[in-house]
Each structure stands twice: as structure tokens, then as C-alpha cells.
Amino acid sequence: MDEIQRRFAERLTERGIELRDSEKQLEQFETYYRLLVEWNEKMNLTGITEREQVYEKHFYDSLTVAQISGFGDASSMADIGSGAGFPSIPLKIVFPHLQVVIVDALAKRIRFLEEVVSRLGLSDVLCIHGRAEEVARKLEHRDRYDIVTARAVARLAVLNEFCLPFVRTGGRFIAMKGSDIEQELEESRYSMQKLNASLQEVLRFQLPGEGSERHLIVIAKSNPTPKAYPRKPGTPLKEPLL
Ligand code: SAM
């Protein structure tokens, strides 16, 4: 374990997140890091490639989702617009019991994620190439997952329509956001109401190294998503539920 990994593990412990099989898990993070940098030369996966930054801004940031109350009880999650695998792959490494479904509209990112899943020896991870609006209409993914996440995909009013249809009744959607969330939160109220959901909690924290602000917006679903949603691909973005 080198200094960067030691600090990474220590900071997770400070947030109450334990690496139960730390040798194996740190090795998986390191393999993931190497694959990310290697594939990033051939395709656009991330603007962040410096090792310490990747550990903080991608790996640590992804794992903060585990701080929401009752995360430990979740057995399934869907990550919408996962890109290079954030937050789902770090969460799967640390919580190997999770059944994970990843949805992304870009085929080459899905190919990268399939390689990551295979090289890290992760089981029970399904990578789906498709738009959230289409995948959420398939019965096997609709009203189904305990936790649904999205980081850096769209504004909250749009994300609600992309993500809430995947959440089971009683489950939660967690939107990972940076600073200045008030306006976005305010304008998302109508979409929550339309989609049978409500704001449960907002967790605010700072990344430990450079101190930038982050928010986890936790939205609870109380009833199945009405049949009309999500609307056809492109519509949630063009005509958000405002
Ligand atoms: N979540 C990752 C992260 O935080 O690094 C990736 C963020 S990237 C900026 C946004 C991703 O969302 C892209 O990979 C894009 O293909 C995907 N995306 C955007 N709209 C989508 C949609 N309607 N359905 C599925 N994926 C979508």
C-alpha cells in the first residue's frame, strides 16, 4: 500500500466506510485506475488522469454515496449515465454483494466498462448500452432497484425522469451534485411530484483534499412511476418537467 492508497483508505474510514478485504479491493482500484488511463488515450473517458486526483475526485467521491442512511440495507443498484463507471464501479468494489446495473448511451463507454468488470473479476454487474428513457420502459428494469444513482448527467428535473422509473417503490434515487444546488432543487419539485417521489435528505460535504463542495440529493419514491414516464428519448431534456 503506498501513500495515496493509505490516505484514500483512511479518509474512507473517517466517513465510516470500511474496506473489508483491503488488499484485494485496493488492488482492484489500482487495476481500474490503470485501465482508465490506458483507455483514455483511445477514447474520451475522463479529464482527470493524475493518480491522486482520480483516487479523490472519482473513487472517493463515488463512495460518498454509501453515507446515506440505510445504504447498507440495499441489495441492488442502477447507475444511469455511468460514463467511465462512476459511482457504480467503486461502490461495487467496496460492496461486492450489490447487484449492479449500469446504463449508458455511449457504446464505447459500455465496452470499457465490460473490460473493467472482467479484469476486476466483478460478478453480478450488467452493463447496458441504451438511453435511460428506453431502458426504463423494459419491465425487468422498471420499478425495480433499491438505489439508483446519477453523477454529472443532467439537471435534476431531467434526472428525475431518467432515474426515478428504475427505483422500486420505497427505494431511493441519489443525485450527486457539486455546489449551488438550490435553484436546481427548487425547479425539480414538480417532476418529483409527477413521478411519485419526494425529497428525503440532502447531504453536504467537502472533498477532503482540495475542499470542493459536494451534495448528495436523496429522493424517495412512494409509488410506481406513472405509465406516461419517461417520455420518448430526447423529450425529458428538451422539455423538462418544470
Ligand atoms: N457518471 C459519470 C461520471 O460522473 O463521471 C459520467 C458522466 S458523463 C459527463 C455523462 C454520461 O451520461 C455520458 O457517458 C453519457 O453517455 C451518459 N448519458 C447522457 N444522457 C443519457 C441518457 N439519456 N441515457 C443514458 N446515458 C446517458
| CATH assignment of the domain containing 39 | 3.40.50.150
Q: Is the pLDDT at 112 greater than 90, yes or no? A: yes
Asked whether residue 52 is marked as a ligand-binding residue, the answer is: no
The parent domain of residue 97 ranges over 3-223
Confidence at residue 81, expressed as pLDDT on a 0 to 100 scale:
98
In a domain, residue 237? The reply is: no
Distance 131 CA to ligand 1 centre (A): 9
Taking CB atoms and a 6 Å cutoff, what residues make up the pocket around ligand 1?
Answer: 80-84, 86, 103-106, 109, 131-133, 151-153, 162
In a domain, residue 202? The reply is: yes
Q: Which three cell numbers stand for residue 134?
A: 428506453
In a domain, residue 165? The reply is: yes
For the stretch 170-202, pLDDT in tens is: 999 999 999 999 999 999 999 999 999 999 999
In a domain, residue 201? The reply is: yes
Distance 140 CA to ligand 1 centre (A): 21
In a domain, residue 153? The reply is: yes
% residues pLDDT > 90 (the chain): 99
Average pLDDT over residues 48-66: 98
Distance 40 CA to ligand 1 centre (A): 16
In a domain, residue 160? The reply is: yes
In a domain, residue 103? The reply is: yes
Atom of ligand 1 nearest to the CA of 58: 5
State the average pLDDT for the chain.
97
Q: Give the pLDDT band of residue 210 (cuts 50, 70, 90).
A: confident
Asked whether residue 86 is marked as a ligand-binding residue, the answer is: yes
Global pTM reads 0.98
Query: What is the total count of domains within the chain?
Result: 1
In a domain, residue 114? The reply is: yes
